[in-house]
Amino acid sequence: MNIPESLIKRIKESDQRITRQKETILSVLVSYKDHMLSAQEIMAKIPKSDSIDFATVYRNLKGFLDIGIVEQRVDPKGVSFFKLACDTKGGHHHHHFICLSCGKVQPIPCDIDYIQSISKEHGFEENYHTLEIFGKCKECLNKK
């Protein structure tokens, strides 16, 4: 799976360098771009021939988070999951629909007016927010 030029560009634009390890991690993320993977899962999907240290995986994921090309979620057990940031036009803020059956994550456009109106209604000043919907995606519903 080849890595989009845009990602390479984003990395070079920051102070980060392109290394074999970063390319390996990115190619895993690109292959599973619709799914959240833990560091463990990413490691498991790296061919033994390209073996990378856990510390390097974590360090690079953090670097990717910093420049916004990767998104993170934390499950109730405190384990982090990562995926390539959804490329909605312009990298805009969006919400997530997560399929409980296949694990696919799909971006949903954000209705900011709605969020701000309920905030105002309660006297809040909204800075940021998250909305995640869990359930079954179109494909999994059809499979039944």
Partner DNA sequence: ATAGCTGCAAAGCTTTTGCAATCCA
Partner DNA sequence: TGGATTGCAAAAGCTTTGCAGCTAT
User: What is the binding site for DNA (CB under 7 A)?
Assistant: 12, 15-22, 38-40, 51-56, 58-60, 62-63, 77-80
- How far apart CA 129 and CA 113 sit, in angstroms, is 12
Which of 82, 90, 92 has the alpha carbon at shortest distance from 35?
Answer: 82
38, interface contact from DNA, a second copy, none, CB < 5-8 Å by kind: DNA
The only residue of 21, 27, 38, 106 in contact with a second copy, by rule CB under 8 A: 106
- In the block, tokens 């109106």 appear at 117
Which residues on adjacent β-strands are paired with residue 108? 95
Dihedral sign for Cα atoms in the order 134, 130, 108, 61: negative
Which residues on adjacent β-strands are paired with residue 74? 80
53, interface contact from a second copy, DNA, none, CB < 5-8 Å by kind: DNA
Q: What kind and span of H or E run contains 142?
A: helix 138-143
40, interface contact from a second copy, DNA, none, CB < 5-8 Å by kind: DNA
> In the complex, what is the shortest distance from the CB of residue 15 to a second copy, in angstroms, rounded to a whole number?
22
Residues within the interface to a second copy (CB under 8 A) = 72, 74-76, 78-80, 97, 99-100, 106, 108, 111, 114-115, 118-119, 122-138, 141
